[in-house]
Structure 1
Amino acid sequence: MERVVAEQPRAPRWRRAGVAVQWALVLGAVAALVLNRDRLPDPGALRAAAGRAEPLWLVLVVVGGAGSMGAFARLQRRLLRVGGLRMSLRRAFAITYAGNALSTTLPAGPAVSVVYTFRQFRRGGAPARLATAVILAGGVITTSAYTAIGTAALLAEPRSRGPVLAALAVPVAAALLAAPVLLRPGARRAAAGALRRAGGRAVAHPRVAPRAARAAAALAEARDVLRPSGRDWAALAALAVLNWAFDILALFAAAQAVGIAVPPHGVALAYFAAQAAGSALPLLPGGLGAVETSMAAALAALGAGPAAAVAAVALYRLVSYWAVVAVGWAAWAVLREGPRVSARARSARAGRLVLGCLRAASSGMALGMGYGAAAASAEPSRRP
């Protein structure tokens, strides 16, 4: 009997083209490293730069990395509480670290992380609607904070202030001109009707309609499930800003530790440039390679020496990526314990393990600082 094999649908042309572009960028980066290997910083210079790192700044690197994860864990916990569910801080920390490890180390990691976080919220007692709303609202709030901090950094830089102000002036001027007209009820109704018709035509496209419908349904559900008060909004906004500010602080402290005198807004711009580079190459887990290269290049463009820039990025990524991933996988292993263990025992055990891993990471950093100081004492003191 002849078997009929169903033909697998081919991926859309735009998606295949995007994957091809990503691979081309990856191969181009590898080729650039090979062709410019003679221009790369000397490993001895890197060790010397890291060995002269200031211990207090290294402590701030660890504080910044832990503070960023802690702010996001508290943000999600606050959203769960707004929805009527109280979750222990230890369990919220464990879920945040484990979800981050999945997101930054696995293929299609962000999607896997969303599913994992949803299931963990459900195991913690959250209804499906609340778990979905918390994940969606958390993403929207943190993205808004990301945009606000990036705009502030661009405005603080004299070379980018003029173009940014010009770009912001266009919507502000349009709003000021439209405000007197929209005060009339008839004009408001006409404008609302025009916007609804334009939006309807946009979402009616065959490729857009299903996604638009799902997004609209998810937003409506999140609005119905979560009703934050003014105090809640203030706390959520502060936590979202701290989520990014602590991570930027970690990079700033790493730069200061190796003697790079870069203003905070310059470090923020280098940070956002690296985030953009990592997002442009989603095939790379955690943006490995793309983040480090773009971050070091941005610091060098701000006046840092190549060896010092690479050393600062290495210190930053050691804490903000590798240490956080290690803690995250440990938390993931504990949270996978079977139903014989109660939820209270799971969360307590996960919290103890996360805190233990953080202490171990801090101890390892301290040992590294001692080794670096000993190595630096045998060489002439050189500042980049």
Structure 2
Amino acid sequence: MLKESLVFEDGLGWVTRAVFGDPGVTVAVGDDPSATVRYAVIPSLAGARFLLPLASRRVTAASLLAYNALRPPKVRAGRAAVGMLARFGLLGLTKAPILSVHAREPRELLAAFLAERLGVDRLHAAIGIRPPDPHHKPTLQLFDDRGRPRGYAKIGWNDGTRAMVRAEAATLADLPASGGFPPAPRLVLHTQWHGREIAIIEPMPRTVRRIRRPDRPRLEAMLAVARRGGPATPPRPVTELLTAWRQRATGADPRIHAFIDALDTGQELEFGDWHGDWVPWNMARHRGRLLVWDWENRAAGVPVGFDLAHQAFQTALSTHRRPAAECAVAVDEALREHGPALGLDAAGQRFVADAYLVELWLRTYELSGGGAGWNPKLHPALLDVLATRLPR
């Protein structure tokens, strides 16, 4: 039986509002064969992780099985099992709830708009569900009627996430293709739709695989990114970085200004680019090379070593669920072990660690100002961590 349209308040809620929250479009729980599109909610309404398009057996199965080799073993096994059920028309055995989406006109749906822009008859969107978070964006895997991947769409829905989508689109148009620079899936389309900023990235090769030993830093690739595939550059004073930080911190908690001042020690370091979100789940291996995606946080003019610090911090935070203080310790350990290979002596390692924590807090501050709210894992915890590390 079809229930009336509901307003969800969890991860399912913010994603459905971002993707289907337009006049003329309603989302209801229950299987309505007359709906414009229908989705299975995997595994449940309360624990939703994935919206599975029910366009056809082929499309439904492809949504679960495409790039499954990139998933962690437990997730891979679960998706493979449900994918086989979908392929044989037995998805009903999962008893997954159904969302029925009604649109006054099919073209009012985002997938129809993107199909028109890409010049294909139809696109079907498999939609990932993540908990509400200051910088999360809805992500759509796009498939054609034959179940072939046609792209991966990111949706910017507020000031902060719209800026991130624009930044990734610009970055992908300007990445080097030599000098050991890791290849990245290219940009297919950058467009806007009903106040959303949308970037579609090309599908990855079907033969991509998870990287082995994900905690091991790929130092050569990090240096290639930092130097844009070129040679090392001479060290220079950190003054310019600190000046830029002070401008970014205008109106922020006074403590961050004191921490920036504490880093004004006359240090000289090599500067370059950084990926900005260098973590194992943003990379894969393909034909002996490292493939790296999610370039939305790429920036120039940072000390070499920021990507190493970020991998250590975010792996501890997201994979091992450690508090910010322990994540900072993981940064120190990574820089002590691998910093010399990046040209960092002991003083440089300490500066990069502290500077990375300042940069991470500033990013959190900027996202909060963009309408996304504060990330409770990082604020005020990072300020408390910096207070133990930097004299004021």
TM over 0.5: no
Provide TM-score, normalisation by structure 1: 0.26
The structure with more helix, counted as a fraction of residues: 1
TM-score w.r.t. the length of structure 2 is: 0.26
Higher RCO by CA contacts (8 Å cutoff, separation 6 or greater): 1
Tell which structure's C-alpha radius of gyration is larger: 1
Q: Which has a greater percent of strand?
A: 2
